[in-house]
Amino acid sequence: MGVVRLGGVQIVREINRLGETTSQFGRPETQNSNGVSTKTAYPPFSLILPVYNEEEAVAETIAHLHATFDAAGCKYEILAINDGSTDRTGDILRSCKDIRLIEHGRNWGYGAALKTGIRNAKYPLIAITDADGTYPNERIPELVALATEADMVVGARTGANVQYSRIRKIPKWFLVHFAQWVVRRKIPDLNSGMRVFRKSIAERFLNILPDTFSFTTTITLAMLTNNYVVHYEPIDYRSRVGKSKIKPIRDTLGFVQIILRIGVYFAPLRVFLPVATAFFIGFLITVSQDIFIRHDLTEKTLILFVAATQFGMFALLADMIDKRSNRL
């Protein structure tokens, strides 16, 4: 078992490398309506499992993933990222067979764990899910098959049985509608943690993908605003196993950051030009009052003019940078 240090903060262990006895495409046998045996082709993929303090669920989750993928005849690897867990998660992961384990020296964040997995994945197709038992991981082979005709397939939590925290519904509703306004299309699920995408495309956006839980929100908008094909497949969603990691104050501040990031990264003109226009209208009103009523130029007029100019220039500059980066 080899040990490699990455940047002095990560330990990489590979546990029982998966056998390479299967062909390039796993082909599970099924039967059609006539009783004739058929096969479904699944391209090989890397399953990235970010894990932080999931001692109650991670072993069962990994066992379920292996059973599901083996039954479907998939060629795959499970890449577990222990993101600085402080409970027994690390010991449990080190005892699991047929996984590749990467351990962060401290808790870097959900997005950081996913980015570590993306950099180290050996297959061109990547699937992600959570370790807390909330997602129907038996659906992953189906999403992988759909990914042959899309750049990203998202398991949208719009199925018949969705158990979602009420605390998160209000900010989630606002965020989804703001994102839909930015990209000008409907988004069934903005931040689902079960999805399949191409490694090459994710690597293109690694420099803007955050280290936090907003990773999935950001990659969704990055794909949509760059005209990649995104398919949404309805799935169920269960209550998590173990303690929730929701922190109201931290998550509220993170929510504000997401809103700002969406505006700056993906639609600077659409978001900031209306603000500049509002300031400019205010400037026209106050300057008219200064000329015809006060006969003097007030500070409020100057402030409104400067604000309108700065927001307008910022929007134009950000839009130019965004379009230039898209062509590179």
CATH number of the structural domain spanning residue 174: 3.90.550.10
pLDDT at 21: 31
- Round the average pLDDT of the chain to a whole number and report it: 84
Indicate if 255 and 276 belong to the same structural domain. Answer: no
Confidence of residue 41 (pLDDT cuts 50, 70, 90): confident
What's the mean pLDDT in 169-175?
A: 81
Closest CA to 59 of 18, 17, 27, 90: 90
CA distance 195 to 215: 12
The DSSP output letter for 158 is -
Instruction: Give per-residue burial for 294-303: e unless 16+ CB within 10 Å, then b.
Output: eeeeeeebee
pLDDT, tens digit, 9 for 90 and up, residues 257-281: 777 777 777 888 888 889 999 999 9
Pick the range with the lowest mean pLDDT from 20-29, 202-211, 241-250, 285-294: 20-29
Q: What percent of the chain clears pLDDT 70, i.e. is strictly above it?
A: 80
Residue whose C-alpha is closest to residue 222's, from 272, 187, 253: 187
Claim to verify: residue 208 and residue 290 sit in the same structural domain: no
For 283-293, write each residue's pLDDT tens digit. 999 999 999 99
Closest CA to 212 of 9, 56, 50, 57: 50
pLDDT score of 201: 96
Residues 9 and 44 in one domain: yes
Let me know whether 34 and 138 are in one domain: yes
Task: Identify residue 138 by its one-letter amino acid code.
Answer: E
**Separation of first and last alpha carbons in the chain:** 40
Q: Which residues pair with 6 in a beta bridge?
A: 10
Give the per-residue pLDDT at 243: 65
> Comparing 291 with 319, which gets the higher pLDDT?
291
Choose among 84, 89, 76, 60: nearest CA to 18.
Answer: 76
> Among candidates 255, 165, 178, which has minimal Cα distance to 221?
178
pLDDT greater at residue 307 or residue 271: 307
Q: Tell me how many domains the chain contains.
A: 2
Q: What is the pLDDT of residues 66-104, one digit of tens each?
A: 999 999 999 999 999 999 999 999 999 999 999 999 999
Picking from 266, 282, 303, the residue at the C-terminal end of a domain is: 266
Share in percent of the chain as helix, strand, coil (round to 5) = 50, 20, 35
Could you tell me if 33 and 73 lie in one domain?
A: yes
**Of 86, 88, 89, nearest in space to 101 by CA:** 89
- pLDDT category at 7 given cuts 50, 70, 90 is very low
pLDDT computed for residue 39 by the predictor: 59
Distance of CA 261 to the CA centre of its chain: 14
268-289 helix and 299-327 helix, angle to the nearest 10 degrees: 160
Sign of the Cα pseudo-torsion (257, 258, 259, 262, in order): positive
> What average pLDDT does range 56-65 have in this prediction?
97
Residue 26 shares a structural domain with residue 60? yes
Q: How high is the pLDDT of residue 52? A: 96
Long-range pairs for 90-98: beta carbons < 8 A, 24 or more residues apart: 92/55, 92/58, 92/59, 93/51, 93/58, 94/13, 94/15, 96/15, 96/59, 96/62, 97/15, 97/16, 98/15, 98/16, 98/18, 98/66
Specify the pLDDT at position 96: 96
Name the token pair of 144.
Answer: 């992988």
Lowest mean pLDDT among 130-134, 189-193, 317-321: 317-321
Decide if pLDDT at 62 tops 90. Answer: yes
Do 14 and 51 lie in a common domain? yes
CA gap 270, 281 in Å, rounded = 17
Which residue, 266, 285, 308, sits at the end of a domain? 266
pLDDT level of residue 3 (50, 70, 90 thresholds) = very low
- The answer on 193 and 56 residing in a single domain is yes
Is the pLDDT at 197 greater than 90, yes or no?
A: yes
Whether residues 40 and 127 fall in one domain: yes
Q: Reply yes or no on whether the pLDDT at 15 is more than 50.
A: no
Question: What pLDDT is attached to residue 8?
Answer: 41
Instruction: Please report the pLDDT score of residue 324 as a whole number.
Output: 55
How distant, in Å, are the alpha carbons of 135, 235, 256, 286, 312 from that of 139?
Answer: 9, 8, 33, 60, 46
Q: 116-120, 313-317, 320-324: which has the minimum mean pLDDT? A: 320-324
154 in the same domain as 300: no
Tokens of 189: 């699920």
Question: SS3 of 306, please?
Answer: helix
Same domain for 89 and 56: yes
Domain residue limits at 14: 4-266
Residues 258 and 305 in one domain: no
Beta bridge partners of 127: 47, 196
- Euclidean distance between CA atoms 317 and 311, whole angstroms: 10
Please state, as a whole number, how many other Cβ atoms lie within 10 Å of the Cβ of residue 11: 15
Q: With a cut of 70, say whether residue 246 has pLDDT above it.
A: no
Tokens found for residue 256: 């504000």
Length of the chain: 328
